[in-house]
Amino acid sequence: MPLLDIWKSNRDAVLKFTIEQVVKSTGTVLGDFVLQFVLDVHALIILDAIIPLPDLPGFLIQSHDLHGQLPDARIKDTRDRLEVLDAVSREASKLSAVTKDRQELSEIFPGCQFLPHTLLDSGALVGLSFSGHTVLAEARSFWEGYHKLMRMSCRQVF
């Protein structure tokens, strides 16, 4: 059974396990933020690291999906719990959109490879390689870039 099918059939169990691991491995306040992050995503995203930011109050959430590394979620700690939870929720929604686009692209183009995403001065650059084709998309943000990549890849082939 493919990993994605196992995830879909056992989503609640996987979320419960993930939440328990996060709460055990992080402090209570940060654990609450990560718990909100996990609940908001609704996709198979594996949390790799939660890193305190040295230059400003806040933290960086690193994660990946079945297709590789995802863009980092940078959360600024404003000391307002609701504001931070709102920021976590927004970042989780963006990562969920990226993950869903990547999953759809991998279903349309079996065996495709996602190129490492890059942050540029003008925005974000994402790419896809499949069947001898390479498609790059540039946008203001990563989630917009993956939406654009979806349109461009399908247009190029079909």
Residues 52 and 126 in one domain: no
Residue 158's pLDDT is what?
Answer: 62
User: Identity (one letter) of the amino acid at 140?
Assistant: R
Residues 64 and 123 in one domain: no
pLDDT above 90 coverage of the chain, percent: 20
In a domain, 122, yes or no: yes
CA 65/CA 13 separation, integer angstroms = 18
DSSP code, position 132 = T
Confidence tier at 124 by pLDDT (50, 70, 90)? very high
Residue 149's pLDDT is what?
Answer: 93
pLDDT per residue over 41-88, tens digit each? 556 777 788 888 888 788 888 888 888 899 998 888 887 878 887 888
Residues 91 and 121 in one domain: no
Residues in the chain: 158
Residues 46 and 77 in one domain: yes
Residues 78 and 22 in one domain: yes
Average pLDDT over residues 114-142: 92
- Picking from 66, 95, 124, the residue at the C-terminal end of a domain is 95
pLDDT at 7 over 70: no
Domain count, the chain: 2
Residue 137's pLDDT is what?
Answer: 94
CA 130/CA 154 separation, integer angstroms = 11
CA 130/CA 135 separation, integer angstroms = 9
Residues 120 and 77 in one domain: no
Confidence tier at 96 by pLDDT (50, 70, 90)? confident
Between the alpha carbon of residue 14 and those of residues 29, 42, 101, 102, 122, the distances in Å are 22, 11, 21, 20, 37
Residues 113 and 85 in one domain: no
Residues 87 and 126 in one domain: no
Residues 14 and 56 in one domain: yes
Domain span at 24? 1-95
Residues 118 and 90 in one domain: no
